[in-house]
Chains A and B, each alone.
Chain A
Amino acid sequence: MSDRLIQLGKSLVIRNLFKNFGLPNLPQELKRSKHPWEQHPLKDQVIITGQIRSSKLTEAIAGTVARLGATALVDGDETIFNIFHKIGSGYGRLPHYLSDEDKPVNPFQAMIYDATDIQRPEELNLVFSFFHDHLRSLSTCGRAVIIARPPETMPDIASATSSRSLEGFIRALSREVGFNGSTANIIYVSPDAEDRLESVMRFILSPRSAYITGQPLNISNQVLMNEPSASIRPLDRKIAMVTGSAQGIGAAIARTMAREGAKVIIVDRPCEEISAAKLASEIQGTLLLCDITDASAGNTMLELISNKFKGLDILVHNAGITRDKLLVNMKSEIWDQVLDVNLRSILRVNEKILPVMREGGRMVCLSSVSGIAGNRGQTNYSTSKAGVIGYVQHLASDVKERGIAVNAVAPGFIETQMTARIPFATREVARRLSNLNQGGQPEDVAETVTFLSSPGASGLSGQVIRICGGALIGA
């Protein structure tokens, strides 16, 4: 499963050799974090910040940068600098002023641009010059983030147009910075949801979001927030259930959630008993062997949850299968099987489990880039995974009053046993068809799902987060 090109690219000599011979860039090994969530994930790093003008979010951004443990390099006027200075001084993180004689020696880890106050398309030029001037100093595995208001909440047509333009900008930018492992994303913050921005920024700016790039995230205040966000041990005292978690991505999710304090119920088929039991003892989890396609599966789960735990906080619908065939060759059984495991079982299980989900609960369903873009030979799989998207979008508004957030994640090419079985040539193509020129790791999905399950993710609901390294196909 190891990616030879990444191994090759670790050597600076070989990287330069490739560069000098005009060969395509070797993929950059992504910086990831295997440690539990930390108080200061960007300790002693430099973040450059820019903005159209000072906005309602300037203080929030200044606070976020300081609380991440980073030093701000402010590209802006004196008013902006003073805001950063006032807030940074409370953390011993005084900002630097971007001026010619004070150019940073080291490249910066992240670029944050606050475009919440964009009014006219002419102001897009400011966005252009900010990124144009400083992009070269962005370090490898850096982060470029634009913060904006959702176009539909903008007061007039000029501002809505400009705000929407930014998404195109960031998508294109993500294709340009990917070669050195950097990502670019845009965060749309609804008015009055500003207090939910920080935890999303913590995630996006940290190494935990390594394989998420080129996409918008929408932060709204529709979900009732009944718990403050936590920067460490976010899942303490939480009960989480992960289906299909004996191995692969599911096991990674279970491990990551346990690491952050959750009590995890590992659900898988009885034939996976050995690996599931090993995992359960490794993470002190609870084992539940049942086939989710059984009509009684929901009841079995309900029984365990209500008898042993008196409620459930987190539910991850991860179990899924592929049975690829061209449509004309596809037998109705495998069509049916894929839809049953990947989609219909979610509906059946939720019917039983949703009523016992606690307030402030979180649900994450595994979709797929196939469900967004479609894939040859996967009509059954794409149908089921697209259905999942529709499902979370609708369910999100049904349960928002209970403080429950429902999201889907759509992994692209992830290095698992499933993708290791793909023939070499196809696999190599699939791997490279992304901005980051490489496949993702199960941990990338696990970290994202864990973040979406944390109290701080209350701003995100009814969304599909792609974990695809900016796949060239798909939205």
Chain B
Amino acid sequence: MNQKTITPRRAVIIGGVRTPFLRAFGDFTPLSTIDLGAAVVKGLLNKFPIAWKDIDSMIWSGVVLPSDTVNIGREIQFDVGLPMEIEAFTITRVCTSSLNAITLAASAIERGEADVMIAGGSDSTSNAEVKMPPSLVHKAAPVVLNPKSTVRDYFRLLTSLNPRKDLIPLRPAIRERLTGELMGESAEKMAKRNQISREAQDAFAFQSHKRAAKAIETGRFSEEVIPVQTPGGKTVFTDNIVRGDTSIQKLSRLKPAFAKDGTLTAGNSSSLTDGASAVLLMDEAKARSLGFTPIAAFRSWSYDAVDPTDQLLIGPAISMPKAVSRAGMKAEDIDMIDIHEAFAAQVLSVLKMLNSDQFAKDRLGVDKAFGEIKPEEINIHGGSVALGHPFAATGARMVITMANELKLSGKATALLGICGAGALSAAAVMEAV
């Protein structure tokens, strides 16, 4: 037989950009998730000038999706003006969404489905839909959809409506459907169960704000944040949730947000945010032939789930060791760790479990804990507590920050960990190229 040596294809990250992350109902309020997505993809294509015809596919992601156009990826592509022949689709996987879009793109490239791909995510919590109760639809539809309906039918419909039950709009669902808990309430429980003190949470939040503020000040984020113009003509340049001037004293004065005697506050939790991020991925050989310099690649990833009624956001403590062992590595081979900060309490709980032999034995089937990781060793440029958390833009933000950091610092590996609603979680191991 004629044997050919096939070099396996490798997907590489060329780079990425994101919009500034703004607190919900701020300057980005007029921009829908599609607008934000279009802005960030335009920014990406400006920064990495590639012939548009060379793009094969785009995977977008979103969590708060508009019900009339769920495949926002395709709409973003139209708004950017990309060739219609590029296919685009949209995935949703709670807070791990855009990491998932990126790893799906990497898989597609490595399988040979595509050579050049855009992956990312956007969310505009300011534009979350407010729905009318289904009972209104159930009552009105038979009358409205029937061409034979008479004025009397409409009149009867009007009199049958109950103002309280049928006409008051429903708030967007922010509670877990299974447990009926707000995510903060679940995190509050985790803090209590793992005995994470208010002081530890505030100290972590303080660190997040300080580091993010420093990253902005020193221009560390200028590599990744693009300016965005709002319809009002204003240009937004930087994230607006970060509080560089905060102090432990200020944080410790805040009232508990989710329980009367609780420890979670607005200061040590991530807030509702608008924003978008996008990453350009290519097959390594293709990248070199097009003259691009790759900065990072994925060694492995792991998507997992746990019992939402137990510890909703503990998943990264399972995903992170799994991803590392899939990469054929050990904890000590990892140079940087970036964990999504839904709540300071959740990050600290995850770190606690990563250091528990019992947890490792019971949940991962290994004898030894992943290892001790001090809170100050992770998230070198802050995290979601300080920067905000546009659900489907966070994963890509972490990938971009870590990829840039690998390039700048000359370090070899980075580990990402993300928790999400429904007790989903994800982790990925990135390496410098």
Contact = CB atoms under 8 A, between A and B. Distances in A.
A371 B193 CA distance: 49
14 contacts: A39-B307, A43-B309, A43-B310, A63-B362, A87-B358, A90-B356, A90-B357, A90-B358, A90-B360, A92-B190, A92-B194, A92-B310, A92-B314, A94-B193
A410 B361 CA distance: 39
A86 B193 contact: no
Give the bracket for the number of chain B residues in contact with chain A: 20 to 34
Main secondary structure of the interface of B (DSSP, over half): helix
Contacts of A40: 307, 309-310
Given A40-B307, A40-B309, A40-B310, A94 B195 contact: yes
Interface centre among A40, A69, A91, by most chain B C-beta atoms within 10 angstroms, is A91
Main secondary structure of the interface of A (DSSP, over half): loop
A39 B310 contact: yes
B349 interface: yes
A67 B359 CA distance: 11
Contacts of A92: 190, 193-194, 310-311, 314, 349, 353
B186 to A, nearest CB: 12
A89 B352 contact: yes
A93 interface: yes
Given A91-B362, A92-B349, 9 more contacts: A63-B362, A67-B362, A86-B358, A87-B358, A89-B352, A90-B359, A90-B361, A92-B194, A92-B353
A44 B311 CA distance: 12
Nearest to B190: A92
Interface in A65-84: 67, 69
Give the bracket for the number of chain A residues in contact with chain B: 10 to 19
A86 B358 CA distance: 7
Interface of A: 39-40, 43, 63, 67, 69, 86-87, 89-94
B350 to A, nearest CB: 11
Contacts of B352: 89
A16 B185 CA distance: 37
Nearest to A90: B358
B359 A69 contact: no
Nearest to A62: B358
Interface centre among A67, A69, A91, A92, by most chain B C-beta atoms within 10 angstroms, is A92
Interface string B349-371: 10011001111111100000000
Contacts of B360: 90
Contacts of A91: 358-359, 362
A144 to B, nearest CB: 26
Interface in B330-381: 349, 352-353, 356-363
Contact of B194 (A86, A87, A94): A94
Nearest to B310: A40
A228 B371 CA distance: 28
Interface centre among B193, B195, B349, B363, by most chain A C-beta atoms within 10 angstroms, is B193
A63 B359 CA distance: 11
B358 A89 contact: yes
A228 to B, nearest CB: 11
By Cβ-Cβ distance, the 6 closest A-B pairs, closest first, are: A90-B358, A90-B359, A92-B193, A90-B356, A92-B194, A87-B358
A90 B365 CA distance: 13
B307 A89 contact: no
Contacts of B190: 92
Contacts of A39: 307, 310
Contacts of A89: 194, 352, 356, 358-359
A39 to B, nearest CB: 6
Nearest to A88: B358
Contacts of A93: 193
Nearest to A39: B307
A48 B314 CA distance: 26
A69 B310 contact: yes
Contacts of B362: 63, 67, 90-91
Contacts of B193: 92-94
A402 to B, nearest CB: 28
Contacts of A90: 353, 356-363
B148 to A, nearest CB: 42
A67 B314 CA distance: 16
Nearest to B314: A92
Interface string B306-322: 01011100100000000
A446 to B, nearest CB: 25
A390 B359 CA distance: 45
B419 to A, nearest CB: 14
Contacts of A86: 357-358
Contacts of B353: 90, 92
Nearest to B362: A90
B221 to A, nearest CB: 34
Nearest to A93: B193
A138 B99 CA distance: 49
A93 B353 CA distance: 11
Contacts of A43: 309-310
Interface centre among B307, B357, B358, by most chain A C-beta atoms within 10 angstroms, is B358
